[in-house]
Amino acid sequence: MDSEMSGKGTVRRELLDARRLLSPEDVREASLVLARHALELPELTGARTVAAYVSVGREPGTRALLDALRARGVRVLLPVLLDDNDLEWAVYEGPDRLVPARRGLREPVGPLLGHKAVLEADAVLLPGLAVDERGMRLGRGGGSYDRVLARLEAAAARPALVVLLYANEVVARVPEEPHDHPVHAVVTPEGVRRFAARPTA
């Protein structure tokens, strides 16, 4: 496990370094294309509730997508980071209802709905740094979404798991640990790639 963890750290640093080279204009343009591709996903066109997140910095942008989903009448849940790195959820009520939070995040100001609100989602947009050819996701290492995925699995919930990335972040292989979950699709500015997510025990 130690070698897997150190391997993940190396890959994370390389991917974050590549993101730092992107200009604000690069990020803005990519976010609009990402939103367009994501909105065409059947998993999102048919969704009544989507758990998502607010992108920050040079992350692949989600804000155009959040607003488009909300305009469609989709109930969008956004995470609120707790002191122990777990996540609660609140409904996205528009960009003017987001406030600065810890770690440079932006979070909704509405009532907290608890840890289990994510179980109501038809699709979950997961932040990440890479996805490999098997659909395995490399996160940022905080463990928050590992808990979310474990909660979904424990409840036998089966939402579509989707990651938004830049094209260079779809890689041959990422280091994997036993608790890691494959995703169903990755959206990049170049389009959508689907994976046959392996069955969970």
Instruction: List beta partners, residue 98.
Output: 108
21: exposed, middle or buried (Cβ count in 10 Å: 0-12, 13-18, 19+) = exposed
pLDDT given for residue 197 in this prediction: 54
Q: Is the pLDDT of residue 178 over 60?
A: yes
Q: What is the per-residue burial (b if ≥16 Cβ within 10 Å, else e) of 51-68?
A: bbbbbbebbbbbbbbbeb
Distance CA 64, CA 66 (A): 6
Dihedral, CA of residue 10, residue 81, residue 121 and residue 98, to nearest 10: -110
pLDDT given for residue 132 in this prediction: 95
Q: Is the pLDDT of residue 2 over 70?
A: no
Q: Work out the mean pLDDT of the chain and round it to a whole number.
A: 92
The model's pLDDT over 108-160, given as tens digits with 9 standing for 90+, comes to 999 999 999 999 999 999 999 999 999 999 998 888 999 999 999 999 999 99
pTM: 0.91
The model's confidence at residue 201, banded by pLDDT at 50, 70 and 90, is: very low
Q: Is the pLDDT of residue 99 over 80?
A: yes
The model's pLDDT over 55-87, given as tens digits with 9 standing for 90+, comes to 999 999 999 999 999 999 999 999 999 999 999
Instruction: List beta partners, residue 107.
Output: 99
Q: Is the pLDDT of residue 5 over 60?
A: no
* Non-local CB neighbours of 78 within 8 Å, separated by 6+ positions: 51, 52, 53, 54, 66, 89, 90, 91, 92, 107, 108
3-state secondary structure 136-188: EEECCCCCHHHHHHHHHHHCCCCCEEEEECCHHHEECCCCCCCCCCECCEEEE
pLDDT given for residue 188 in this prediction: 97
